[in-house]
Amino acid sequence: MRIKRKNPSRFSTLPDEPVDLNLLDELLEKYAGKQGSMISLLQGTQEIYGYVPKSAISKISQKANLSESDIFGVVTFYSQFRINPVGKYIIKVCHGTACHVQNAPDITYALMTELNVEDGATTDDRLFTLESVSCLGCCGLAPVITVNEDVHGKLKRSDIPKIIKHYKSLEGI
């Protein structure tokens, strides 16, 4: 669960970037006519796009006969949902108790400095999103970060540049 987020106050203030809405068709078909499927629809939508785009909310509203404002309310209530586009690599820094006492704030600061991005934001090149989260479930490795599915544990601040360099090198940067 993410522990920091910045929400706009209204549906109309959501970013409206063009996405391929055809990617939603299979998901909408799967849940067509099923009551109580809003959360599943939104989880599936986030799996497709990495976040819940504004235009996807509108399409779900039309096809599943749900109001945009109800969907928006759910998306902004639950911290599992993202409302902004994310980077290719999502970096989660654990700030659970075990990681916090092992200097997780230092790790976040090192990442903010290395990536030149705020906590909770995405780099301008859309490569990295930095998030603070609660326990990632591998406290023995504290302090821990994940980069997409990869786990990096027992980190020191000085490890951060080479970790970022590794992911940039995968992109030929």
Tell me which residues touch ligand FES (CB under 6 A): 94, 96-99, 135-139, 142, 144
The angle that helices 54-64 and 68-77 make with each other, rounded to 10 degrees, is 130
Q: Nearer Cβ to ligand FES, position 85 or 105?
A: 105
Closest CB 133 distance from ligand FES, rounded Å: 9
Q: List the structure tokens of 150.
A: 């990869």
Q: Nearer Cβ to ligand FES, position 68 or 119?
A: 119
Q: Nearer Cβ to ligand FES, position 111 or 142?
A: 142
Closest CB 134 distance from ligand FES, rounded Å: 8
Closest CB 118 distance from ligand FES, rounded Å: 21
Backbone phi, psi, residue 96, to 5°: -65, 175
Rg (CA), the chain: 18
Q: Nearer Cβ to ligand FES, position 137 or 161?
A: 137
Q: In what order do the strands lie in the sheet with 150-152?
A: 128-133, 89-94, 145-147, 150-152
Q: How far is CA 141 from the centre of its chain?
A: 22
Q: Nearer Cβ to ligand FES, position 64 or 135?
A: 135
The angle that helices 54-64 and 38-49 make with each other, rounded to 10 degrees, is 140
Beta strands 145-147; 89-94: pairing state: antiparallel
Closest CB 141 distance from ligand FES, rounded Å: 7
What is the number of the residue whose Cβ is closest to ligand FES?
A: 96
Closest CB 149 distance from ligand FES, rounded Å: 15
